[in-house]
Amino acid sequence: MQVSNIVDGFYLGAEETLRSLAPLLQLPQRNPHATLVAVFLNAVMEMMKRTGADGRPDLGRVMRYLPAPTLSTLMNPLGADMTRIWDGRSIVSIDVDEFFHL
């Protein structure tokens, strides 16, 4: 069962998702491969907020990996280019290893 990113804290969260959907999976005796697949799409940003980490993006570093924005890109805040810039900040702006020690 694929549950997308409803496991993110901004939506249901991991606990509520498991509480609600795990009973729908077959028991291991009937299907040992029954699996709940989830994507934690906002995990980095959630951990930054939870720990009070500095969330200011290093846009210079982000832009080293993306094409230079054009004026039309900057004028369309909901466009694909701005989405890449906005989402890229959580990928390259901070060291996220500190948030996910197992």
Task: Give the model confidence (pLDDT) of 41-73 as tens digits.
Answer: 888 778 877 777 766 667 788 888 888 878 887
Amino acid at 5: N
Q: What is the pLDDT of residue 54?
A: 66
Is the pLDDT higher at 69 or at 20? 20
Assess contact for 62 and 85: CB atoms under 8 A.
yes
Strands (E), the chain: none
List, in order, residues 6 or more apart from 97 with CB less than 8 Å away: none
Give pTM, 2 decimals: 0.58
Indicate the domain borders of the chain: 1-41, 54-102
Assess contact for 77 and 43: CB atoms under 8 A.
no
Phi-psi region of 101 (alpha: psi -120 to 50; beta: other; left: phi over 0): beta
